[in-house]
Amino acid sequence: MQRILSGLRPTGKVHIGNYFGALKNWVKLQSDYETFYEIADWHSLTTKYDDTEALKQRIIDTAIDWISVGIDPGKSVLFVQSDVKEHAELHLLLSMLITVPRLQRNPTVKEMARDEGLQEKLSYGLLGYPVLQASDVLIYRPEKVPIGEDQLPHLEITRELGRRFNNLYGRVFPEVEPVLTDIPRLPGMDDQKMSKSLDNAIYISDTTEIVLKKILNAYTDPTKIKKDDPGHPKGCVVFAYLRALEVNSIEDIRKECRGGDRGCVECKKETASLLNDFLEPFREERRRIEREVDVVEILKSGGDRARVEAKKTMALVREAMNLW
């Protein structure tokens, strides 16, 4: 069976951009691949090093979100990055194989630094974010990495580092390929990238009322002021959500909007209700998990399983590099 590795930082709340961009594929791929899904707690320190008080709880909440959308601990290995110290060793070794200017060109790191107000204070750790991510991936020697579009620059660095290692020391790592969903980038309510730090996200754990409120406040076509003004679905956040939900009547909705036969308020209410219907099974599942499932135990045993694979790769890496 081919192997998959992916991960998310433990922000504590998974948003619908994470879901439609990556998690949806994680769930689907579980049946046909050996799947490893990591909660990247060290990565969260690249920007949130000063906010660790609730980190353990955020890890647990992230795992609950994952399981509630269908990540099955019986099929997938769910684990916490810092539970597998071997990632740190590989990170150190790979950091020798990439230049600082190459890392400075990474648009996703630049974006993160900007969104967090860290441009002038870019740490060594944040600059090395993609190197740590490369070690997360390569240490499991997977074939595929299901991610959102924003992660592609990181994956490119992973591929470069794998190739460079293989050329220098002999082949240890496979060529990894990204796997994208049909909705690799879902906009936030303000039409920027959906992100916790921009405070524009809809979370899969949001209540019905919050979802409605957020959608009613979402950015739509600024040229459509009255109901019968013709709209432009292409740049509309709400239309992007309807597409993600794979609404059957999407073509009719597009026509009605363009023709001025559909008002934004009505459209938003309909979208919120569809999104709430979609999220309701996840909410129910979360209540069950909170009652019945020992998430800490799942993560611990996932860590044990992941560590076995990571140790195998590190033995190959040390041998290839002639390390002591």
Question: CA 210, 289, 19: angle at the middle one, nearest 5?
Answer: 50
Least distance CB 124 / ligand TRP (angstroms): 17
Indicate the burial class of 106 (C-beta count within 10 angstroms; 0-12, 13-18, 19 or more): middle
- Which residues, numbered 31-90, are part of the site for ligand TRP (CB under 6 A)? 40, 43
Contacts of 25 (CB under 8 A, 6+ apart): 146, 179, 180, 181
**Residue selected from 7, 178, 231, 303 as contacting ligand TRP according to rule CB under 6 A:** 7
Q: Is 147 in the site for ligand TRP (CB under 6 A)?
A: yes
Q: Which two tokens stand for residue 88?
A: 């740190």
Q: Is 11 in the site for ligand TRP (CB under 6 A)?
A: no
Q: Is 196 in the site for ligand TRP (CB under 6 A)?
A: no
Q: Which two tokens stand for residue 24?
A: 């949806």
C-alpha to C-alpha distance for 188 and 192, rounded to whole angstroms = 5
**Residue selected from 151, 181, 200, 276 as contacting ligand TRP according to rule CB under 6 A:** 151
* Comparison of 97 and 194: residue with beta carbon closer to ligand TRP: 194
Q: Is 145 in the site for ligand TRP (CB under 6 A)?
A: yes
* Comparison of 30 and 133: residue with beta carbon closer to ligand TRP: 133
CA 217 to chain centre: 24
Which range touches ligand TRP (CB under 6 A), out of 3-11, 98-106, 164-172, 257-265?
3-11
Least distance CB 135 / ligand TRP (angstroms): 9
C-alpha to C-alpha distance for 249 and 238, rounded to whole angstroms = 14
Question: What SS3 state is found at 56?
Answer: helix
- Which residues, numbered 79-138, are part of the site for ligand TRP (CB under 6 A)? 133, 136-137
**Residue selected from 4, 8, 67, 71 as contacting ligand TRP according to rule CB under 6 A:** 8
Q: Give, in order, the Cα–Cα distances in Å from 61 to each of 56, 199, 277.
A: 9, 18, 22
Contact residues for ligand TRP, defined by CB under 6 A = 5-9, 40, 43, 133, 136-137, 145, 147, 151, 154
